[in-house]
Structure 1
Amino acid sequence: MNKIPLLVRIILAIILGISIGLVVPEGGIQLFAIFTGLFDSFLSFVIPLIIIGFIAPGIASIGSGAGKMLGITAGLAYISTVIAGVAAYLVARNLYPTLLNTGDGGGMTNPEDSLVEASFSVEINPIMDVMAALVFSFLLGVGMTAIKGNTLYHTMTEFRSIIQKVIEKVIIPLLPFHIFGIFANMAFSGQVATILSVFAKVFVMIIILHLFYLIGVYGIAGALHRANPFYLLRKMAPAYFTALGTQSSAATIPITLKHTKGIGVKERVADFAVPLLANVHLAGSTITITSCAMAVMYMQGQALNFIDIFPFVLMLGVTMIAAPGVPGGAVMAAVGLLESMLGFSSVMVSLMIALYLAQDSFGTATNVTGDGAITTIANRMTKDNSNLESMEKKQTG
């Protein structure tokens, strides 16, 4: 089962859930609801641990570096991520009322209202709430950069490894069953056709946004180096398609590194920036999460204002730092923010995860390909000029 790609498992879970939900009686749907309720409770317990495990060692590892290159590269990555999220919000805000046929968000029936409820539930209380976990993570991360000892840092990296194992061995394998239960319930309640229609439209919109983002960021990189941005994009295409298959920025680092150097970035700059960006630059994932969150809110008959989404995007750019190199790592890191800042319920989180994972590989591919552009911009800003102009002349000569 683990050899089947996660995307395939998610698609199969949705198809089977819909098929079974249309024929199974309410008693069977209640059994599925019990499982989804237990999974929701476990996920709520794990979310603060995921935040601590990701953010604290992530901040410490970034802070352990030094110098101008670190500040410029991390700063560019964060700015790129925030701009990508804001752009996704603006596009969704203007297109969704027409694209999803919801008017101002009120024309679509809330799918959660008609779901079959579980006959019993087990509540697993988190050890702390999401905001407490965020503050604690920042204190730990910054504190570890300020002290000379490495004991706590090694402890936190081992803790992160434990959390990664929980995601890889427990959460990810159970996610298809959880999504199966949600879609079976929605099929039984008669809401699934509307949701699938939303999924298809949002999926296409997100892919287009990814492409426009890459054209924009490579346009900036090309302008700074007087190079054709489409030539740079073509040179980075192998990294994009590798990430589509691996669904992991970390696993794609060797390919990204090779082709970033191939477009003329100095070796020492690429060797530093590309591995760093694989952990801190998640513009593609931010576009996806913001767009998906907006879509789920519209399905609930709600609409977000900029004043609501901007703090969420700002926090998202930090919370996803050092998200694990496993499929769905970014959305797992974001679940706490969705619940605490946007008021997502367990059903909304489930829809969000399903919608996000359906195109996770495209978001990762956009992250990875964007890393090449951010590296070339950092290369120019540190005055460690590359020979991109000569590369451009060579390919036109």
Structure 2
Amino acid sequence: MKLKWGLLPGVICAIALGIGCGLFFPDWLVRAALTFNGFFGNFLGFIIPLLIVGLVAPGIAELGRSAGRLLLITTVLAYGFTLASGFFSYGVSEAVFPYLLETSSQTAQFAAAAELKPYFTVAMPPVMDVMSALVLAFTLGLGMAVIQGSRLKGIMWDFRDIIDRVIARVIIPLLPYYIFGIFLNMTVSGQVVAVLGVFAKIIVLIFVITAVMLFLQFAAAGVVAGKNPFSMLKTMSVAYMTALGTQSSAATIPVTLKQTVKLGVREEVAGFVVPLCATIHLSGSTMKIVACALAILFMSGTPMPFARFAGFICMLGITMVAAPGVPGGAIMAALGILQSMLGFSEAELGLMIALYIAMDSFGTACNVTGDGAISVIVDKIYSRRAPQAAPKMPSAPGNPQGIRIG
């Protein structure tokens, strides 16, 4: 029987091996690992614009193909919850990081390359820059949502399938080796202790603010629907624990649906809202990315005005609608704006991936549990309207359920 490792165990092993091997690897072997990292990093830079076009454009088009008040209410709430979690994470991180983290000559360069260099590099210039890819993706997505033609949509669905497979079969399997090279490099250059300290502190902070954010979401739902938020959280805890294991919002949909109905949400409403939110509601993922990005900026001593970071949060909530159907998909979809809006380097993007994946289960569980709060609010608002059948999620070619696992 072939043993299959998940992404998280692979990343943990890669970090441990990178630190251990960095203590005794000769220079020539370290340079070999850096050569692979240079190749993979260049490929990542090449694929990011294609990833944005291939995932964001169909994601926007899919939302546009559904019509009705229920879709509008659910989308606005999901995006509002996602934005609220991002700004909440920003506020807590800004207040806590000056006391929790340190900026020093050592840690300010924790993402920089060591003195050792790769044997060679292969240039892979992207076909367009990230901002051009974002503009093109929004233009195509909105256009496909408006026109009645099917030819371009079919091409974009196929292109999205190609990008999904590149991520699932190339990028994700090679990520542990890339992260191994990053931590090998940091160990050789004497920076790994500071980075691991940052990892531990951020993981604890994320867990705390996730719990607080979930309470606030269900408190809001309780006010709207006149229900006990603690009782609702207890009911949704089954979905939370399931998501911790599956690391997938969509794989948890059957459990989320069952628990949401137990909250008193009508089945037809829950049957529409929960699958849709599995794609567009990413409160936990946004919270993690904001906190991790702010920590890296703080540690490197890079000033970041609030207005610029606020724009990043708003764009992040939209971009991650395109999160591909693999563990860690949200951070893959966010790489483009981390690079274009916050100026992250290749090594900093690698650290973001490692740190995000280390907490992937917590973010997914937060997303799934928050879907219950959104469903309660939508059901209360929609019940004030004339009763009618809730619309069903549309299905794209090759995707009969109309949702993506992620």
Using the alignment, how far apart are the partners of 1:154 and 1:252 within structure 2? 28
2:357 is matched with which residue?
357
1:391 is matched with which residue?
none
Residue segments in structure 2 that go unaligned for 5+ positions in a row? 386-406
Q: What pairs with 1:52-131 in structure 2 (closer than 5 Å)?
A: 52-102=53-103, 108-113=107-112, 115=114, 116-131=116-131
Using the alignment, how far apart are the partners of 2:229 and 2:3 within structure 1? 39
1:178 is matched with which residue?
178
The answer to whether the Cα contact below 8 Å between 1:53 and 1:156 also exists between their aligned partners in 2 is: yes
Using the alignment, how far apart are the partners of 2:296 and 2:384 within structure 1? 44
- CA RMSD, aligned part only? 1.5
Report the Cα offset of residue 384 of structure 1: 5.1
Report the Cα offset of residue 26 of structure 1: 2.1
SS of equivalent residue, structure 2 residue 128: coil
2:388 is matched with which residue?
none
Identity score, percent: 50
SS of equivalent residue, structure 1 residue 118: coil
2:400 is matched with which residue?
none
Using the alignment, how far apart are the partners of 1:371 and 1:52 within structure 2? 27
The answer to whether the Cα contact below 8 Å between 2:324 and 2:333 also exists between their aligned partners in 1 is: no
Superposed CA offset, 1:85-135 (max 9, x none): 111111111111110133xx7783312345132232111111111111111
Report the Cα offset of residue 300 of structure 1: 1.7
Q: CA, structure 1 residues 91+106, in 2 after alignment: closer, same or farther (shift >3 Å)?
A: farther
Residue segments in structure 1 that go unaligned for 5+ positions in a row? 386-397
The answer to whether the Cα contact below 8 Å between 1:266 and 1:384 also exists between their aligned partners in 2 is: no
Superposed CA offset, 1:369-392 (max 9, x none): 11110111111222359xxxxxxx
Using the alignment, how far apart are the partners of 1:112 and 1:59 within structure 2? 34
Report the Cα offset of residue 150 of structure 1: 2.3
Superposed CA offset, 1:208-250 (max 9, x none): 1111110000011112122111110111111111111111112
Report the Cα offset of residue 272 of structure 1: 1.1
1:4 is matched with which residue?
5
Using the alignment, how far apart are the partners of 2:220 and 2:261 within structure 1? 18
The answer to whether the Cα contact below 8 Å between 1:58 and 1:141 also exists between their aligned partners in 2 is: yes
4+ long deviations beyond 6 Å: none
2:31 is matched with which residue?
30
Using the alignment, how far apart are the partners of 1:76 and 1:113 within structure 2? 40
Using the alignment, how far apart are the partners of 2:258 and 2:150 within structure 1? 32
Q: What pairs with 1:299-318 in structure 2 (closer than 5 Å)?
A: 299-318=299-318
Using the alignment, how far apart are the partners of 2:259 and 2:120 within structure 1? 54
2:347 is matched with which residue?
347
2:403 is matched with which residue?
none
Using the alignment, how far apart are the partners of 1:109 and 1:47 within structure 2? 26
1:241 is matched with which residue?
241
| AA aligned opposite 2:95 | N
Range with bigger deviation, 302-311 or 270-279: 302-311
TM-score (norm 1): 0.93
Report the Cα offset of residue 322 of structure 1: 3.3
Count of equivalent residues? 383
Using the alignment, how far apart are the partners of 1:317 and 1:106 within structure 2? 34
1:166 aligns to 2:146 (yes or no):
no
Superposed CA offset, 1:54-88 (max 9, x none): 11111111111111111111011111111111111
